Structure 1
């Protein structure tokens, strides 16, 4: 082979190699975000003890992140379209990394919660733009499907790494390190992005729905604040009812803005489509149950069962491994065989049974009989249901709107998670306080509070399963055709 031929072959291979190296960078950025969403749950009891959070106010460590993440997910994608995806991705990674440093150095409740909110903003931008970059890098269907499979596996498998790393860092060092570990990763991602990802320029002009983003995020933050503080202020107090009233007014203002602006954050016309409306409702209910389960089960294992942070991380591992396994294609195969409706309903039903098992977990519970069965069912249910939920949200929309529809359901998921966590954590705290006032011991009272929260979460899960099973209208052949492109 001549030198010219070798050079030509190398030139042909280089773009291919460059794209897959770029995918590795994007996956590393996504891994930072996924790690953060699971690693924090393991450290919650340590954060609570160190900074003096009450059990209900501790929810803000998670909710501050969820609210800004959900509130700015769609706006982040729009910024990428306007100003260039690589540039906005770099800004998102930089914001997330600096906010992680602030979280790791936090010495007060207010500072930590504020830094977590900034983290959520950076995470939203990274998540929204990473998918667009992958779609632009991989234009051939086969390569795109493979790239999406790798990205999905990293996102699902990152949960397993997060719970183990959270236990290791919290138990071996301190909770501060679960945030500080993001600093070197962020710096590597920034350097690799500058070298490997192609620079792109958006048009630099266009309308940003900033008012919509601010009103919906402010509305949900006020609603969550009112719910979290309802136990202390009183559920019928002027403060609680006033905050809820303002939250409703802001939500109505958001809907009015979305019906008027030319480039809405969340086009209301999407919700005239039956499957989109059902999928988003199901997403809100399911997220309300799942986020609260993750939060409260970590507290149950550490405060009631007296597990170490590392033991909590290992306890979560089975459910995360099952979710990762389904992300590699098992869920898509079920959809291709049975359509969207039944895998979604069956997955949510299995997760509901898992929540019911946690609702009866005793004070002196054993891992094999009282924790593991619920973990397995929740991992199995979530692994089966996630892909059908995304497909249902996009099954009625045109290909040009599929990214927007996916962003809408992800936003609904985050907002539902924040509200559900606030409601269920407050219910648990209220029941615990009532049982202590009635003379119960602390650990028994805490267990009863968690039982109530898990039971109400199971009601959310069952309602989601019934809605999905009864109201979705997606032919099996349509779901099968859509399964591979929507693996993200």
Structure 2
């Protein structure tokens, strides 16, 4: 999707330039790492927590679901609150609340307390995530500095999902599952020490005109949609409850769009979503997360159930992906972003990750040299693709914003990530399960057959993930076809400035 340089307005006015502005980057990146880590760090620790607290198999998913629902459902509200009270103040409140909820979860003596704590983490993460990105938007408006800052921020955030699995395995095996939550306390303390170094911003709005119908419709619609995705895998996409959740969520979000188009003070101004450059960023990130979160799940399952890796060794396999993601965001994207247009870089990033998926579709039960021939190349290609895309898309998603819109635009960007991750995990996991079930019905249920059928289910689901990424690259190409060349958003900001 391409627009001329003159189509992009100058970014939001920069706060007074100061040498200490660079301290903003490590502080907000640390906070972003916490938010992303907690989406995956408890996955490997879940069996241990279940044994300790006596959770049933039916209820244990709430450890993950409670966080996802609160985080995804309240992001848009959190973005508006950030703008109204000031992003630095919202950032501080989010840090403190997140740490307190983490402490409660780590000390939980029963399942209900842990579920409530995870929901509390999600609530404060919905305030923390948009505040962190907004502070970057408002602090780094110079083109070159902005590209560097967003590259680091995207690298930390993108690598955090894989790093969460690694950290969860290490903490569970060598310490205790409770430290998967307690770890947020020292991280928060370090971030709070850096808050005074962040440039102070002014509130950009007021909650007196808060769009209450928009708040209710968006929160309810996103909660129903995300919860419907989480229930699709165990119950099936045709289950009446799942269909009711998904259809209800879509209807509420459609009504939300109608309300936002008519109200004088919308929670999410539709021009933020309809902006051509920003829309490309949102779509590409949503599709990338849909494919990658299913990918992480299958790699974790395959290495532990088929190859017999310990949780720590399985996590170390994903560490290759985390390192590659950081390299892609900080180095590769930084070198390419001034040489090719952002739509070309995004399409190439999607295809790089698709190539990594394609390698794993060739896995068989008796594949030799699995780590060197299959897992390592796949981890590298998907990691570089994810890092490059997020470094570029984060920048594209924040062009042409007023300071008052920074919070809600940041929240929208985080929301599409959450929806994509929830949808992809549910879709790919249900495909793998159904394909494996059909294979076992046809070939029997002996031990070797079960293993073969399981791997077959994984590879079919990875073919679907491959198709999602290729379709995303083609969509970016089609949307940009016939338009003028789009400069990188940071270059456009320099040109118009």
Task: Please say whether Structure 1 and Structure 2 have the same fold, judged by a TM-score greater than 0.5.
Answer: yes
Which is worse superposed, 106-115 or 449-458? 106-115
CA distance in 2 between partners of 1:321 and 1:384 (Å): 13
Q: Is the 8 A contact 1:145 1:484 kept in 2?
A: no
1:303-382 mapped onto 2 (5 Å cutoff): 303-365=305-367, 366-382=370-386
CA distance in 2 between partners of 1:328 and 1:210 (Å): 40
What residue in structure 2 maps to residue 97 of structure 1? 99
1:23-34 mapped onto 2 (5 Å cutoff): 23-34=25-36
CA apart distance, 1:113: 4.6
CA distance in 2 between partners of 1:458 and 1:97 (Å): 38
Q: Is the 8 A contact 1:105 1:176 kept in 2?
A: yes
Q: 1:117/1:448 Cα in 2 relative to 1: closer, same or farther (>3 Å)? A: farther
CA apart distance, 1:348: 0.7
What residue in structure 1 maps to residue 470 of structure 2? 462
Instruction: Please give the root-mean-square deviation of Cα atoms over the aligned residues, in Å.
Output: 3.6
Q: 1:472/1:413 Cα in 2 relative to 1: closer, same or farther (>3 Å)? A: farther
1:118-267 mapped onto 2 (5 Å cutoff): 118-136=120-138, 147-148=149-150, 150-156=152-158, 158=160, 162-190=164-192, 192-193=194-195, 196-197=197-198, 202=203, 204-230=206-232, 233=235, 235-267=237-269
CA apart distance, 1:466: 0.9
What residue in structure 2 maps to residue 387 of structure 1? 391
CA distance in 2 between partners of 1:119 and 1:449 (Å): 34
Q: Is the 8 A contact 1:167 1:309 kept in 2?
A: yes
What residue in structure 1 maps to residue 5 of structure 2? none
SS at match of 1:349: helix
What residue in structure 1 maps to residue 429 of structure 2? 425
Q: Is the 8 A contact 2:158 2:386 kept in 1?
A: no
- Please say if 1:414 is aligned against 2:418: yes
CA distance in 1 between partners of 2:428 and 2:130 (Å): 28
CA apart distance, 1:419: 1.7
Per-residue deviation, residues 73-104 of structure 1 (Å, max 9, x unmatched)? 33323212211323211221122112222333
SS at match of 1:338: coil
Q: 1:335/1:42 Cα in 2 relative to 1: closer, same or farther (>3 Å)? A: farther
CA distance in 2 between partners of 1:140 and 1:343 (Å): 21
Q: 1:146/1:476 Cα in 2 relative to 1: closer, same or farther (>3 Å)? A: same
Per-residue deviation, residues 211-240 of structure 1 (Å, max 9, x unmatched)? 434423432332343444346656444433
1:250-289 mapped onto 2 (5 Å cutoff): 250-289=252-291
* Residue of 64, 69, 72 corresponding to 1:70: 72
CA distance in 2 between partners of 1:270 and 1:213 (Å): 17
CA distance in 2 between partners of 1:462 and 1:141 (Å): 30
Q: 1:263/1:300 Cα in 2 relative to 1: closer, same or farther (>3 Å)? A: farther
Q: Is the 8 A contact 2:272 2:278 kept in 1?
A: yes
* Residue of 54, 72, 87 corresponding to 1:85: 87
Per-residue deviation, residues 355-387 of structure 1 (Å, max 9, x unmatched)? 232233233552112322211111122123223
Q: Is the 8 A contact 1:339 1:475 kept in 2?
A: no
Unaligned runs of 5+ in 2: 1-16
CA distance in 2 between partners of 1:130 and 1:239 (Å): 36
Q: Is the 8 A contact 1:348 1:465 kept in 2?
A: yes
SS at match of 1:336: coil
CA apart distance, 1:323: 1.5
Q: Is the 8 A contact 1:357 1:374 kept in 2?
A: yes
CA distance in 1 between partners of 2:332 and 2:431 (Å): 36
Q: Is the 8 A contact 1:42 1:167 kept in 2?
A: yes
Unaligned runs of 5+ in 1: 1-14
Q: 1:214/1:95 Cα in 2 relative to 1: closer, same or farther (>3 Å)? A: farther
Q: Which structure has more RCO (C-alpha within 8 Å, separation ≥ 6)?
A: 2
CA distance in 2 between partners of 1:468 and 1:182 (Å): 37
Q: 1:468/1:169 Cα in 2 relative to 1: closer, same or farther (>3 Å)? A: same
Q: 1:332/1:139 Cα in 2 relative to 1: closer, same or farther (>3 Å)? A: closer
Q: 1:84/1:280 Cα in 2 relative to 1: closer, same or farther (>3 Å)? A: closer
CA distance in 1 between partners of 2:260 and 2:113 (Å): 33
CA distance in 1 between partners of 2:120 and 2:109 (Å): 16
Q: Is the 8 A contact 1:152 1:327 kept in 2?
A: yes
Which is worse superposed, 220-229 or 322-331? 220-229
Q: Is the 8 A contact 2:71 2:125 kept in 1?
A: yes
Q: 1:148/1:199 Cα in 2 relative to 1: closer, same or farther (>3 Å)? A: same
Per-residue deviation, residues 384-405 of structure 1 (Å, max 9, x unmatched)? 322333455456x467667755
CA distance in 2 between partners of 1:151 and 1:277 (Å): 20
